[in-house]
């Protein structure tokens, strides 16, 4: 990741978010793969509308997970973006009758915040954000958690 080199060089903070679509397997299994693909496209469109700064990066990270890399972002900015993402996705009103969490599609977001970045690696930031995301899922889903590293 070139961004890792840049944040280390410039000594700027970094936020990495992992986002997982809640109960996506149940959605895909019950509504079909075409509906699942359309759901993924709609969630991706929400991310593109939410992450708008030139240096920010959002991508699908396999399956139903997405990663967001936000250089020069502080914890408050990360929380604001996560709240906006959850809101924009909820506005889509993607019906999910097979979710025990909500009747519409929801997401869980793990935020790894690095106010200082001297010893980070691409593998570490992904692992850290993924671990925080799983805690958000364990705590009931349809939410975000942030941890400072």
- 64 classed as catalytic: yes
From 38, 64, 123, 138, the catalytic residue = 64
Alpha-carbon Rg for the chain, nearest whole angstrom, is 15
Distance CA 116, CA 48 (A): 27
- Cα 100 from chain centre: 20
**35 CB-near residues (< 8 Å, 6+ apart):** 27, 28
Q: Which two tokens stand for residue 103?
A: 């009747």
Distance CA 140, CA 14 (A): 26
Q: Which of 135, 84, 87, 92 is nearest to 111 (CA)?
A: 135
Distance CA 79, CA 76 (A): 5
DSSP state of 101: S
- Residues tagged active-site: 64
């Amino acid at each position: 990741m070139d961004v890792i080199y840049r944040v280390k060089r410039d000594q700027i903070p970094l936020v990495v978010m992992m986002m997982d679509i809640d109960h996506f397997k149940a959605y895909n299994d019950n509504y079909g793969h075409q509906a699942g693909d359309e759901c993924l496209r709609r969630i991706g469109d929400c991310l593109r509308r939410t992450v708008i700064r030139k240096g920010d990066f959002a991508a699908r990270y396999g399956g139903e997970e997405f990663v967001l890399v936000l250089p020069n972002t502080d914890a408050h900015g990360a929380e604001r973006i996560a709240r906006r993402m959850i809101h924009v996705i909820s506005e889509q009103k993607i019906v999910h009758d097979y979710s025990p969490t909500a009747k519409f599609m929801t997401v869980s977001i793990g935020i790894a915040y690095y106010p200082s970045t001297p010893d980070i690696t691409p593998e570490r930031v992904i692992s850290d954000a993924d671990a925080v995301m799983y805690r958000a899922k364990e705590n009931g889903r349809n939410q975000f958690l942030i941890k400072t590293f």
